[in-house]
Structure formats: C-alpha cells, structure tokens
Amino acid sequence: MAILVIAEHDNKALAPATLNTVAAAAKIGGDIHVLVAGQGAGPVAEAAAKIAGVSKVLNADNAAYAHQLPENVAPLVAELGAGYSHILAAATSNGKNILPRVAAQLDVDQISEIISVESADTFKRPIYAGNAIATVQSNASVKVITVRATGFDPVAAEGGSATVEAVAAAHDAGTSSFVGEELAKSDRPELTAAKIVVSGGRGMQNGDNFKHLYALADKLGAAVGASRAAVDAGFVPNDMQVGQTGKIVAPQLYIAVGISGAIQHLAGMKDSKVIVAINKDEEAPIFQVADYGLVADLFEAVPELEKLV
C-alpha cells in the first residue's frame, strides 16, 4: 500500500501545509510518495525529498503544470494515482480545485477536509460549518482525500532522504490558460500557520482602524485575520477572511476583536487553543466560545493591550 501526496508549492518553495498532509498520510500508514507538479520546481522536489517519512518524490516538470491548472494537473494525478491506495492533498484553494477533478476521473467519491484518521479507510470530517462531525468510511479502490492542515501536527521538514524521480507524462488539455495573479503582500506570518492570530470584525468601523490590530499583532508576532463582515465592508482584502468560506485557523491564541461570533466565523477558528474576545456587547455569541472575554470598547482596550504585552 502506497500513498501519493500532492505537494503544495509555488515552483519556488514547498508550502508548510504539505507537512501536515504528510502527517495525515503517516497516520494512514504505508509508503509515502510526494508528487511535485510544476515548472522548474527542482528546489521544491529537493525540499520534498527531505521531509521525514517520505520515500519517493515524483517530479513532473512541464510548462503545462506551471500554474497548477486543474485541467492539466488532474489527468496527471489521476494517471499516476491509479496505482496508489490513497491520494492526499492539503485542503488549500489549490488542493480543493484539483482533487475533486481527480476523484471524478477515477470514478470515486472524495472525502473533503478530514480532521482525523480513524483507520486506513475511515476518517472524520466536519459538516454543517463545523456544527457536526461525520465519520466517513470509503470502499473506493483509490481513496481521494483533502486534509485540513490544522487537524494534523506537521512532520519534520528535515531528516528524510527520498529519491527524486522525474515523471515524463505531459497533459495539456488546452481548455484553460493562466492570465495573471495579484497576491496580497504581507510581512506578518501566514494566517493559517501563525501561532497567534488577531482578528477584527465589523466593530473595527473602517480599514484605517485595523492599524490598532497590526500594532498589536506586530508586538505579538501574530497574523491578522478578519470576519466576513469586515471583508465585505471593504476594510481588508478577502484573503484575510477566517471562517467556513475563508481560511480555517487553529492557533495557540486567537484574539477576536469587534467580532460578534456568527456560526460562519466560528467554523474557521473554534479549534484554537485559547480564544480571547474583546467586544462591547456582552451578549455577543463570541463570548460563548471565548476562554477569556473582555467587555470593553475595543478602541480603548486594544491600545492598552498592546502596551501591556
């Protein structure tokens, strides 16, 4: 039994979510192979070969895979993956984009966003915005699964010595092409990997006021997130959104500022170890999940907090 893990990368560096996905693969048990599909992604393949527990890295280098277009990558994964017992990818926007296409090509159901491995064929995953946990069993010949990174502690990035093998297979469906991308620039830690996350909601009133959160975040070495209300109001870009439809985080400390705590938002952060809520409405639902709640005006509390930490 061997497991194929799809590497998450940007052709230059391996994304940390890959390490969480390998951790899930290790829990299933079996030989772990990592597929790096990209263009000129040699450094990524080398990094993947060093991951603890990985025995082989497949490097598919082709211009058609440069931007991870699912029309081209999915046939490659389906072709290679047919010989494996499991195909795993991180539940990132990329993994979510590609893997269902692979599953349909292999004619099997997919299991999305698993948070635990019960056995080689049984997995747990949240449904209804995290308000219920389903245990799902698969009898598919190839089990196609996306892994919620925050559900698994990452394996060591160093210590492995896998062989790197070039894959010749080239698929270019010719139905899609990459036009461009616009990435948000940030010096702060990545939201999904940060140990501390400070998030603001509608209570921040405007985008300018997020400077209070940035100041606090910089002092704590934290990432800054936002609720959907703050994103929809145009305070901050949408890649900062935490929730069912945004990013799922599970940091050591989550500080929710001016966030009421709608079901949709809680789905993205309620697995945080410690939750702090700062809100002037003492009836706000966020206080029901907060370990420490402070009923106060955020414009007084946040600067004071920044001074004291």
Partner 1 sequence: MKVLVAVKRVVDYNVKVRVKADNSGVDLANVKMSMNPFCEIAVEEAVRLKEKGVATEIVVVSIGPTTAQEQLRTALALGADRAILVESAEDLTSLAVAKLLKAVVDKEQPQMVILGKQAIDSDNNQTGQMLAALTGYGQGTFASKVEVSGDTVAVTREIDGGAQTVSLKLPAIVTTDLRLNEPRYASLPNIMKAKKKPLESLTPEALGVSTASTNKTVKVEAPAARSAGIKVKSVAELVEKLKNEAKVI
Q: Show contacts with partner 1 in window 77-136 (CB under 8 A).
A: 92-94, 96-105, 107-113, 122, 126-136
**217 scored as a contact of partner 1 (CB under 8 A):** no
Q: Measured between alpha carbons, how far is 110 from 142 in angstroms, rounded to an integer?
A: 10
Give least dist CB 48 to partner 1, A: 19
Is the CB of residue 256 less than 8 Å from the CB of residue 286? yes
Cα angle 275-280-282, degrees, rounded to a multiple of 5: 70
Beta strand pairing call for 163-166 and 143-147? unpaired
Question: What's the DSSP call for residue 174?
Answer: S
Decide if residue 224 touches partner 1 (CB under 8 A): no
Question: What contacts 192, CB < 8 A, 6 or more positions away?
Answer: 17, 149, 150, 247, 248, 249
* Maximum pairwise Cα distance, the chain: 61
Closest CB to partner 1 among 38 and 70? 70
Among the listed ranges 57-65, 151-159, 197-205, 243-251, the one in contact with partner 1 (CB under 8 A) is 243-251
Nearest of 144, 153, 80 to residue 113 by alpha carbon: 144
Give the interface segment with partner 1, choosing from 42-50, 158-166, 206-214, 233-241 (CB under 8 A). 233-241
- To partner 1, the closest distance from the beta carbon of 160 in angstroms equals 25
Residues 4-63 that bind partner 1 (CB under 8 A): none
Question: Judged by CB under 8 A, which of 63, 163, 232, 281 binds partner 1?
Answer: 232
Q: Closer to partner 1 by CB, 139 or 161: give it.
A: 139
How many C-beta neighbours within 10 Å does residue 281 have? 12
Stretch that binds partner 1, among 36-44, 65-73, 80-88, 203-211 (CB under 8 A): 65-73
- Least CB distance to partner 1 at residue 246 (A): 9
Write the binding mask 153 to 182 for partner 1: x where contact by CB under 8 A, - elsewhere: --------------------xxxxxxxxxx
- Does position 148 interact with partner 1 (CB under 8 A)? The reply is no
Rg (CA), the chain: 21
Instruction: Calculate the dihedral angle through the C-alpha atoms of 302, 213, 277, 134, rounding to the nearest 10 degrees.
Output: -170
Q: Which is nearer to partner 1, 164 or 295 (CB)?
A: 295
By CB under 8 A, is residue 268 in contact with partner 1? no
Strands 143-147 and 110-114: parallel
Identity of the residue, 164 or 301, whose beta carbon is nearer to partner 1 in the bound complex: 301
